């Protein structure tokens, strides 16, 4: 029985690597916030479908792409976030509505269930929603990269995906 158990334990990392070759879970943390995400490789065709609203691979469903945990009261776009866990969701352009960035309450477990694809959001209350205005970046990255930078009055969240970059400021707020 012990040999079987050891064999199973040794096989688990190999199975995970085969399911998502080269992908891993990353974290960044500053005072007041932590972000966790999977380093999905840059797919310009998929992202173009997201921006344009055209049909394409993965271009018609929302992506739950990161989990944000806050320990401070933070404000984003006039919305106060209570300390807790949030899922960052990107919604594709639909008709006249642009591509949107949402923050939803939730634990974000769906993000890490299958490292081979961007997760579909599991639901949760949307507490913030705004157009996702990604700028063209001069320094492209090969995979999704999210960083946090702390400053005395809050946190700066930067999402980089290929040659696209989105920055959001989360200011410290009163309860």
Give a yes or no: residue 75 inside a domain: yes
Domain that holds residue 100: 22-172
pLDDT for 174 equals 93
Q: Output the tens digit of pLDDT for each of the chain's 175 residues.
A: 444 434 443 343 333 334 456 899 999 999 999 999 999 999 999 899 889 888 766 657 899 999 999 999 999 999 999 999 999 999 999 999 999 999 999 999 999 999 998 899 998 999 999 999 999 999 999 999 999 999 889 999 999 999 999 999 999 999 8
Whose tokens are 């913030």? That residue is 128
Give a yes or no: residue 10 inside a domain: no
Give a yes or no: residue 60 inside a domain: yes
**Can you tell me the distance from the alpha carbon of 162 to that of 124, in angstroms, rounded to the nearest whole number?**
28
Percent composition of the chain: helix, strand, coil (DSSP 3-state, to 5): 20, 45, 40
pLDDT for 62 equals 93
As for how many domains the chain has, the answer is 1
**Consecutive H or E run containing 52:** helix 44-52
**Can you tell me the distance from the alpha carbon of 167 to that of 133, in angstroms, rounded to the nearest whole number?**
9
Give a yes or no: residue 118 inside a domain: yes
pLDDT for 127 equals 98
**Can you tell me the distance from the alpha carbon of 158 to that of 22, in angstroms, rounded to the nearest whole number?**
22
pLDDT for 21 equals 62
């Amino acid at each position: 029985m012990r040999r079987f158990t050891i064999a199973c334990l040794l096989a688990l990392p190999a199975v995970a690597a085969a399911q998502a070759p080269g992908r891993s879970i990353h974290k960044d943390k500053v005072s007041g916030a932590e972000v966790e995400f999977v380093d999905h490789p840059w797919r310009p065709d998929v992202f173009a479908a997201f921006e344009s609203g055209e049909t394409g691979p993965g271009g018609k469903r929302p992506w739950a792409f990161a989990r944000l945990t806050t320990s401070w009261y933070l404000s984003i776009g006039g919305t106060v976030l209570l300390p807790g866990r949030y899922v960052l969701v990107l919604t594709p352009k639909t008709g006249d509505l642009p591509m949107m960035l949402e923050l939803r309450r939730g634990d974000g477990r769906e993000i890490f269930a299958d490292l081979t694809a961007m997760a579909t959001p599991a639901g949760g209350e949307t507490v913030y929603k705004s157009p996702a205005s990604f700028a063209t970046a001069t320094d492209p990255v090969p995979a999704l990269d999210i960083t946090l930078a702390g400053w005395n009055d809050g946190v700066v969240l930067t999402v980089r995906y290929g040659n696209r970059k989105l920055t959001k400021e989360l200011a410290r707020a009163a309860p």
